[in-house]
A and B are shown apart, each in its own frame.
Chain A
Amino acid sequence: MNFYGLMILTAIEVGAVGVDLSAFAESIGATEKQLTFGILWGIGIPKFIMIAAIFMHLYGDADSKILTMTALFPAFFIIVMIFFIGLTSPGAPTDLPAWCRPPSWL
Chain B
Amino acid sequence: MMNKRSLIQTFAIFVIIGLALNLAPEADSLPSGIAGQSEKGCICHGAIPDSGVTPSITGLPSTFNASTTYTLTVSFTGGPSGTDAAPFNLGGFNLAVSSGTLAAVDERVKIENGEAVHNGIDDDEDNNGIHDSVEAGGEPITSGNDFTSWTVNWTSPESGSTTFNLAVNSVNGDGAASADDKWNTMSVSVSGPSSGIVAEPLEPADPFVVLATLIIVSGVLLGAVLLYTFYRANPDGFNWESFAPWITGWLTTTDHKKVGTLYFLAGFFFLGIGGIMAMIIRVQLAVPGNDFLTQDQYNQFFTMHGTVMIFLAAMPLINGFANWLIPLQIGAADLALPRINAMSFWLQPVGALLIFTGIFSGAAADTGWTGYAPYIVSETAHTGTTMWVAGQIMLVASSTLTGINFLTTICAMRAPTMGWMQMPLFTWSIFVANLMLFISIPAWGVGLIQVYLDRTIGTAFYYVASGGDPLLWSHLFWYFGHPEVYVVIVPAFGIISEVIATSARRSVFGYRSMVYAMAGIGIVAFIVYGHHMFTSGMSPTLRFVTMLTTMLVAVPTGIKIFNWLKTMHKGSLIYRTHTLWALGFLVTFTLGGISGMFFPSLAMDTHLHETYFVVAHFHYVFVGGTVFGMFSGIYYWFPKMSGKMMDEKWGLLHFLTAFISFNGIFWPMHKLGVMGMARRHHTWFVSVDEYTNIPAEMADWNLFISVSAFLFFFSNFILIGNMIKTIISGKKAPADPWGGWSFEWMCTSPPPTPSFDPHNLPVLHDANEYHESEPGGFTKWFAGLMVPEDDSEVSH
Residues on A facing B (Cβ under 8 Å):
57, 61-63, 65-66, 69, 74, 76-77, 80-81, 84-85, 88-93, 95-97, 100
A85 with B785, Cβ < 8 A, contacts A95-B541, A96-B541, A100-B544 known: no
Give how many B residues have a beta carbon under 8 Å from the other chain's beta carbons.
29
Tell me if B224 counts as interface (CB < 8 A to partner A).
no
Q: B residues 454-480 with Cβ under 8 Å of A?
A: 469, 471-472, 475-476, 479
Stretch at the interface among B159-167, B245-253, B787-795: B787-795
Question: A85 to B442, alpha carbons, bound, how many Å?
Answer: 14
Whether B537 contacts A90 by the Cβ 8 Å rule is yes
Chain A residues with Cβ below 8 Å from B439 are 74, 77
Cβ distance B147 to chain A, nearest Cβ, rounded Å = 51
Could you tell me if A69 and B542 are in contact, using CB atoms closer than 8 angstroms?
no
Residues on A with beta carbons closer than 8 Å to the beta carbon of B469 = 90
User: Are A84 and B475 interface neighbours, CB within 8 A?
Assistant: yes
A63 touches B794 (CB 8 A): yes
Q: How far is the CB of B687 from chain A (nearest CB, A)?
A: 33
Is the C-beta of B452 less than 8 angstroms from some C-beta in chain A? no
Contacts of A100 in B (CB 8 A): 540, 544
A88 to chain B, nearest CB (A): 4
Does B539 have its Cβ within 8 Å of any Cβ on chain A? yes
Cα A95 to Cα B538 in complex, Å, equals 11
Chain B residue numbers with a CB within 8 Å of A84 are 475, 479, 527, 529-530, 542
A62 x B791 contact (CB < 8 A): yes
Q: Is B19 an interface residue (CB 8 A)?
A: no
B786 within 8 A of A: yes
Residues on A with C-beta less than 8 A from B208 are: none
Contact A63 B541 (CB under 8 A): no
- A-contacting residues, B516-546, CB 8 Å: 523, 526-527, 529-530, 537-542, 544
B443 at the A interface (CB under 8 A):
yes
Q: Looking at the complex, which one of B472, B526, B784, B794 makes contact with A80 (CB distance below 8 Å)?
A: B526
Chain B residues within 8 Å of A76, by CB: 523, 526
Q: Does B765 contact A (CB under 8 A)?
A: no
A88:B541 contact, CB within 8 angstroms: yes
Give A34 Cβ to nearest chain B Cβ, in Å: 25
User: Once the chains are docked, how many angstroms separate the CA of A84 from the CA of B523?
Assistant: 15
In chain A, what residue has the closest Cβ to B530?
A84
Given pairs A62-B787, A77-B526, A90-B469, 17 additional interface contacts (CB within 8 A): A61-B796, A63-B794, A66-B787, A76-B523, A76-B526, A77-B440, A80-B526, A81-B443, A84-B475, A84-B529, A84-B530, A85-B476, A88-B542, A91-B539, A95-B539, A100-B540, A100-B544
Docked-complex contact B785 and A69, CB < 8 angstroms: yes
Which residues of B lie under 8 Å from residue A81 when comparing CB positions? 443, 479
Instruction: Report yes or no: A85 in contact with B475, Cβ–Cβ below 8 A.
Output: yes
Residue pairs across A and B with Cβ atoms less than 8 A apart, 10 shown, are A61-B794, A62-B788, A62-B791, A65-B785, A69-B785, A77-B526, A84-B530, A85-B479, A88-B538, A97-B541
Contact status B794-A90, CB under 8 Å: no
Residues of A within 8 A of B527 (CB): 80, 84
Residues of A contacting B542 with CB < 8 Å?
Answer: 84, 88
